[in-house]
Chain A
Amino acid sequence: MTICEKLRNSSVTECAAIKLCQSNWSLAAMKFRAKMLDVLYMREFQAIAATLAKLAKDCVMIVAQERMHFIVNEEHCSTSSPLVWVSIASKDYFPEYQMTPARPEQEFIVLVMSAMHLSRSLAVLRSGSSSSVHSCKLNLKQIQFPCISVIASVVSPNSSEPREVVHDVPVTVIPASDWASFMLPKVPNTQIVLGVPSLRLLRSLIDKLKNISPSLIFHGSTAGELNLVAESEMATITTRFSRLLLHKPDQGQSGAGAETSEPEISCSVDTRKASAFFNALQLPNEEIMIGIDSERCICLQLDIRSNVVLHSILPAVCV
């Protein structure tokens, strides 16, 4: 089973669990509190929040027992941000993690908040900062309106006393009746998945190509090659990434599935959208997995660590 399939399955089960809940509100209280202690995990969590903040104004936070998900999607045509979602194994980041949904049969707490606020509230955890952070707590609270209180205990290099830095990120609690609109997207079924190890080059390349052509063709082959083509009246630019790791189709398992894979698949996407995705990434990863669903979409997947994954879908454009 490839990572993609595993993920798809897991998200399908979770999505299936989100059912339309009819009224009958109980007054049962919803609770959420979590605490991070490890500096590296805290920095990673901050980097994820910073990435989301670069992509959209608002982000959806879905809190489940085992996982925590973030989704950003600017659906307005004027912006060129793609759909991005991140799934986190809660226990990895939060040794203390406690969530109680509004009703016992519900599995989630769904919140919407400003991505910028979330990112700023965690900024003190940033890797570059000179202060050291002992712990960082997230706590769903009611202070005039619902908030996630982000409470960091910080020791600055100029003093020995720990300080408490608190940010109350205002959130909107989404009732179960509206969850259908906030479901986690599925990873589309792609015909080919290639691992590209040069994320830095890819980022700078796509950033420049957006000034050349509004659309960008991803052309992948089972021979482990990816060509990026930008064409305009003034120039044609073809970049080849070769000797890439082929994650799918899996050469070992031939004949898996009805669709016998074609050796070459291509899809063209909005260059600005692609560039927005790559420019937003604040994580130190150097490898990205690029899946191509022929003329339907490009799926991007960044494995932050084994249980922490960032996804994006760039839809195809008509050329």
Chain B
Amino acid sequence: MKCTLEGGNARVIAKAIQSLSKIGKELFIEADVHGLKMRSINPTQSAVASISFSRCMFDTFQLPPSGDCFCKIAMKPCLGVFRNMKQVEYCELSIVGNKTKLQVNLRCKLETTKQALIAIVDELNITSSVPTDQSPNSIRGDHKLFMEISNSFNSSEEELTLEATPDSLSAKNYIEGARVNDKFMRSQLKLKHSEFEHYQVAEGSVITFCIKEFRAFLLFAEALNAAMTLEFDDAGSPFFVKIKKHRDIECLLILSTLSPEDVSFSEDYRPRDITVCNTTNASQKRKSSTPGPEIQQKRRLAEDTTLSELDTSLFQFRDRRTEVPSEVASVQPARMLADGDTMDLVDEEAEEEAMLLAVSDAVEASQIPRPSSTEVCFFNTEDAPPTLLPEDNNEEDESIPQSPERERGLRVRTIFSRCFQNTYVPREPSPNSQVYAPNSDTED
């Protein structure tokens, strides 16, 4: 394969690689008669991103005599080559050395040329066979709008929940009605449907997905200055993010969403009534170090595809080394796998393991005590859902009765007691660590 393109387009490809690098550690490149595709899959296989560039972006585009070609390379060296593209005037990509290396030649300003040879790890490709055009809900908006939504949340946030109703969209870092850690700050942003270019949500739907990959994709939408389309069905089924630019660039991000099963929510955790059918257990999710909910989420993916009337898994892996393209090794994306070598797994094994995981999930879930009202120290004295009421009355206030008991010494730190003692001399040992006399102050 060999293709050439001028600087501006090369910069777009560089941006695409930079975005994909935030999703996975490997880059899959495929060239066929339509053009060049780049893909990346995240380590937990809950997200796969694909960016296609049509042939007309390239000045020349040569395919090998065998037709299409594909390869897998490590992301890191690739990122190094495409890091700074400002000076690039012309770019040439080719596969050399008997398909062992990807050669990148960059002709830059000031008669400078850069060359890089990146080792091809594998002749491998990933494809997904999920139908991507059957989602009942679709929302399109400018990248700036989605950027503002994304920026409203802390960068350390792991998941984002979208609550779509026919006339508004709420973005939250938690699931309404689910218990969260008492150190966790709930954040939400409420948008009216009129802020979007296109807003089609027939019935209410709530989806929760990983925000990291979404943000990575958003970066590329920003680089293209393009609109972004979100398409989704319901909790648990795949979530699609699409970007299109002049028919030359088409991007698709498939994200798995949190399953609506095993919901453990309580009215106690809700400040207000929300007419939403699906809520999901967040108390498990928040403890993201425990693999339980993650696995559950993945497991749902496999079932989703059954829902979508296609008895295949979400991501299919074609291994061309075997030279039997018809023999599709489909892998349960349901599982968390240590590395990317999922292609060698036999279906039955995967299924068995998924079953085991499901069992362990069930056990784990049953062991988690359901919060009951007796555990809650503070309670609402007013039953009325606050924000649904008019602004002008005091109903909006939440009344918090003083807690009857609290464990002393756990949260309370003595802060200033010393300052009020008459004998207190506000001296402290020198930071030189020269202590001349031991501290005689008493602290309670």
Contacts and interface: CB of A to CB of B under 8 A. Distances in A.
B431 A215 contact: yes
B414 interface: yes
A143 B417 CA distance: 32
Contacts of B268: 144
Contact of A142 (B152, B184, B192, B378): B378
A112 B376 contact: no
Nearest to B182: A145
B426 A313 contact: yes
Interface string A56-68: 0000100000000
- In this complex, the member of A28, A142, A178, A313 whose beta carbon has the largest number of chain B beta carbons within 10 angstroms is A142
A215 B378 contact: no
A56 to B, nearest CB: 11
B425 A296 contact: yes
A176 B406 CA distance: 11
Nearest to A109: B400
A60 B191 CA distance: 33
Contacts of A174: 412
Nearest to B185: A117
B275 interface: no
B115 interface: no
Interface string B391-416: 00010111111111010100111111
Contacts of B271: 141-143
B416 A183 contact: yes
Given A139-B397, A161-B194, A214-B431, A181 B269 contact: no
Interface string B162-205: 00000000000000000110111111111110110000000000
Contacts of B377: 145
Interface stretch (A29-37, A200-208, A258-266): A29-37
B408 to A, nearest CB: 7
Interface string A280-319: 0000000000000101110000000000000001011111
Nearest to B408: A178
Nearest to A112: B411
B402 A26 contact: yes
Nearest to B154: A120
Contacts of B60: none
A112 to B, nearest CB: 7
Contacts of B187: 121, 165-168
Given A71-B415, A164-B190, A144 B179 contact: yes
A5 interface: no
A180 interface: yes
B431 A271 contact: yes
B186 A75 contact: no
Interface range on chain B: under 10, 10 to 19, 20 to 34, or 35 or more? 35 or more
A30 B399 contact: yes
Given A112-B411, A139-B397, A142-B379, A173 B402 contact: yes
A188 interface: yes
Nearest to B189: A165
A120 B187 CA distance: 10
Contacts of B270: 143
Contacts of B404: 25
Contacts of A161: 191-192, 194-195
Contact of B378 (A75, A145, A165): A145
A180 B400 contact: no
Nearest to A163: B191
A167 B413 CA distance: 26
B279 to A, nearest CB: 14
A74 to B, nearest CB: 10
B131 interface: no
A318 B378 contact: no
Contact of B188 (A140, A166, A175, A188): A166
B252 to A, nearest CB: 25
Interface in B405-444: 406, 408, 411-417, 419-420, 425-432, 434-436
B290 interface: no
Contacts of B180: 144
A170 interface: yes
A181 B414 contact: yes
A103 B378 CA distance: 16
A98 B396 CA distance: 12
A169 B180 CA distance: 12
A272 interface: yes
Given A185-B419, A186-B419, A315 B192 contact: no
A318 B188 CA distance: 50
Nearest to A166: B188
A15 B304 CA distance: 62
A102 B401 CA distance: 7
Contacts of A170: 182-185
B148 interface: yes
Given A167-B186, A170-B184, A185-B416, A318 B402 contact: no
A242 interface: no
Nearest to A85: B416
A188 B245 CA distance: 66
A317 B402 contact: no
A198 interface: no
B381 interface: yes
B413 to A, nearest CB: 7
B416 A142 contact: no
Contact of A318 (B376, B417, B434): B434
B415 A182 contact: yes
A163 B190 contact: yes
A317 B427 contact: yes
Given A30-B401, A163-B190, 7 more contacts: A31-B394, A71-B416, A73-B416, A103-B402, A163-B195, A166-B190, A186-B420
| Top-8 shortest CB links A-B | A29-B399, A141-B398, A102-B402, A214-B431, A315-B426, A168-B186, A317-B430, A143-B271
Interface of A: 25-31, 33, 60, 71, 73, 75, 80, 83, 98, 102-103, 112, 114, 117, 120-121, 124, 131, 139-147, 156, 158-159, 161, 163-170, 172-176, 178, 180-186, 188, 214-215, 270-272, 293, 295-297, 313, 315-319
23 contacts: A71-B415, A114-B185, A121-B185, A121-B187, A143-B186, A143-B269, A144-B268, A144-B269, A144-B376, A145-B376, A145-B377, A146-B378, A165-B188, A170-B182, A176-B402, A183-B416, A184-B416, A185-B419, A295-B427, A296-B426, A316-B427, A317-B427, A318-B434
